[in-house]
Chain A
Amino acid sequence: MGKTIAEKILSNHSGRDTKAGDIVIADLDFMIGQDGTSGVAIDSFRKMEAKKVADPSKIAIIIDHSSPSPNEGVSAIHKKIREFCLEQGVKLYDVGCGVCHQITPEQGLVVPGNLVIGADSHTCTYGAINVFSTGIGSTDLAAGMISGKLWFKVPETMKVNFNGQLPNGVYSKDLVLAFIGQIGADGATYLALEIGGQAINEMSVDARFTISNMAIECGAKAGLMEADNKVMEWVITHSKKKPNPQVADKDAAYKQVVEIDVTKLEPQIAKPHTVDNVCGVTEVAGTPVQQGFIGTCTNGRLEDFQVAAKILRGKKVKDSCRLIIAPASKDILMAMIKDGTYQSLLESGALAVTPGCGPCVGTHNGVPSDGENVISTANRNFLGRMGNRNAFIYLGSPATVAASMIEGQITDPRKYL
């Protein structure tokens, strides 16, 4: 019997010929933490009575979730992280560098075939460049830092094929929302996804990150894609590390195969308060919105802002709305300044916050008021997610958010393309 990508990467890192269901202790290529989880990881590290991390060159901590600090409680956590990184020789990406899931691939910290953990659920993002990367808790991160290893249950795999050519105005965000709406919030629990098909092959690497990023929203452990030429070119531009790309065998065993025809898809919206509460944009078009947000590890990349800027060019954000943008990294911010996207969005009435998670996690940078509706490019719309349990969060693509800001209501972006 052949192997899936997940089985191959976990075999390569455990020195064993593993198959789905096996429990393995595997060597980690890289691990990350962020400011919401690393404080607890450092506490666990101390409680485990460890003195040194196994290999500081395989660890990065990124301060992105509440960055810069909005209050003294967060400041204390940031201080603890800075002191730990200095003490252990661990690379710190401090306030303003960007979101961990943009920094990690962009700075070349991970390459195809790697096994990576992160104390953040959206660590699955790097699956788009053929990295088996998965979210874990803080104490698992501490164990990983100390030993360089972690135990894994080798997952079964669900294959997902996005077939056909993407229609105009429909983006990778719409694909992943449609998929999650179809299989549900626990549709892939404990499974690795192998994502492919014509629509994936034809999209940019940045667009692919959006899809792998949201694998966790249906419970998946990883959101793996093959490393095609586009990925290998992207990786060589960003990293000096040696890639070891993995493809599934033709006779690999899949728990389930899901085929999705993208050719008739319209822009998708996840309605409050769950990510799998998905409909076509026409069903909710006209719903008033007071705040828009473009950014996050899902949709805070250069092409996301370029799409939004194109729709908003020569137009204004409606007076009843505010549009917040947060580039996913400083490099993206600099690229936006260079190509005019930044100025264009600001001229249309957007306001920009520090590269990082922005208002996604509800700690700062735009907590909505009671009764307000928000349209966001983030990956979660849970009740209270943005810091107010009396607000309502709709999720969509950057194009949908931009179009909605022109009209002050949820709007089908296709009329502005």
Chain B
Amino acid sequence: MNLTGKAKLPTKKIVNDINTDYVISGRYKFKIQDPVELAKHVMEDLDPEFYSRLEKGDFLVAGTNFGCGSSREQAPMAIKYANISAVIAKSFARIFYRNCFNLGILAIEADTDGIKEGDELEIDLNGGKIINETQNKEIKIAPLPPTMQTLLADGGLVEHFKKHGGFKI
């Protein structure tokens, strides 16, 4: 599976410890049930202009411990409905990582240092690399755990459950 898109960095820098409160603030997640409306507030507290910079198919790029904090599934949901096609970070917090694959969102661990806002990237999952076409560089990516590959292939946990009638991992 190959995906192409532009890198979008909250605050236009590689930021560590982006928590799920920043991805979607508590004051929105409680009162907005429509994920399309929720997505308009993605990253608002950290970078109020982030949503307006997004184009369909962009990759969200960050540093270590992305998605730490609250278990809110509205965080990966806001990312998904903001038309971001993958999250690339140096490392992920556990609950967020799991929630991504449960929603069928690709989360990739890679050394993101050096990726700049707007860089054209190609994710080559089978080849285990990201090609930064703007900078003409290749970045190695960590292989996806088999469980996550299964969930992703099924299109998320809801589809997995509908298909298998329970966990088949």
Interface residue ranges, A against B (CB under 8 Å): 23, 25, 35-37, 39-40, 44, 47-49, 65-66, 71-74, 76-77, 119-121, 123, 135-140, 142-143, 146-147, 149-151, 153, 185-186, 189-190, 216, 219, 221, 274, 361-363, 380, 382-385, 387, 389
CB proximity to A under 8 Å, residues B34-63: 45-46
CA distance A274 to B103 in the complex (A): 27
Check B102 against A23 for contact (C-beta < 8 Å). no
Check B31 against A71 for contact (C-beta < 8 Å). yes
Check B162 against A121 for contact (C-beta < 8 Å). no
Contact for A77 among B33, B156, B161, B166, CB less than 8 A: B33
Residues of B within 8 A of A385 (CB): 21, 26
Contact for A74 among B30, B70, B91, B156, CB less than 8 A: B30
Check A47 against B93 for contact (C-beta < 8 Å). no
Check B71 against A137 for contact (C-beta < 8 Å). yes
Check A382 against B33 for contact (C-beta < 8 Å). no
Residues of B within 8 A of A119 (CB): 71, 73
Check B94 against A139 for contact (C-beta < 8 Å). no
Nearest chain A CB to B162's CB is how many angstroms away? 6
Check A380 against B21 for contact (C-beta < 8 Å). yes
CA distance A387 to B44 in the complex (A): 12
Residues of A within 8 A of B64 (CB): 186
Contact A149-B167, Cβ < 8 Å, known A35-B30, A362-B25, A387-B26: yes
Contact for A121 among B22, B46, B95, CB less than 8 A: B95
CA distance A381 to B92 in the complex (A): 20
CB proximity to A under 8 Å, residues B63-105: 64-65, 68-74, 76-77, 91, 93-95, 98-99, 102-103
Check B95 against A136 for contact (C-beta < 8 Å). yes
Check A140 against B69 for contact (C-beta < 8 Å). no
CA distance A44 to B93 in the complex (A): 22
B147 interfacial contact with A, CB 8 Å: yes
Residues of A within 8 A of B169 (CB): 23, 25, 151
B3 interfacial contact with A, CB 8 Å: no
Residues of B within 8 A of A221 (CB): 94
Contact for B30 among A23, A36, A147, A382, CB less than 8 A: A36
Contact A77-B30, Cβ < 8 Å, known A135-B95, A139-B103, A143-B167: yes
Nearest chain B CB to A72's CB is how many angstroms away? 8
CA distance A384 to B46 in the complex (A): 9
Residues of B within 8 A of A380 (CB): 19, 21, 69-70
Check A37 against B158 for contact (C-beta < 8 Å). no
Check A186 against B93 for contact (C-beta < 8 Å). yes
CA distance A382 to B73 in the complex (A): 18
B17 interfacial contact with A, CB 8 Å: yes
The 5 A-B pairs with the shortest beta carbon distances in the complex, nearest first, are A73-B31, A384-B45, A186-B65, A137-B99, A137-B73
Contact A143-B22, Cβ < 8 Å, known A119-B71, A383-B45: no
B13 interfacial contact with A, CB 8 Å: no
Contact A37-B103, Cβ < 8 Å, known A65-B30, A66-B30, A362-B25: no
Contact for B158 among A47, A151, A190, A387, CB less than 8 A: A47
Contact A219-B93, Cβ < 8 Å, known A37-B71, A361-B26: yes
Nearest chain A CB to B33's CB is how many angstroms away? 7
Nearest chain A CB to B7's CB is how many angstroms away? 22
| CB nearest neighbor in A for B25 | A384
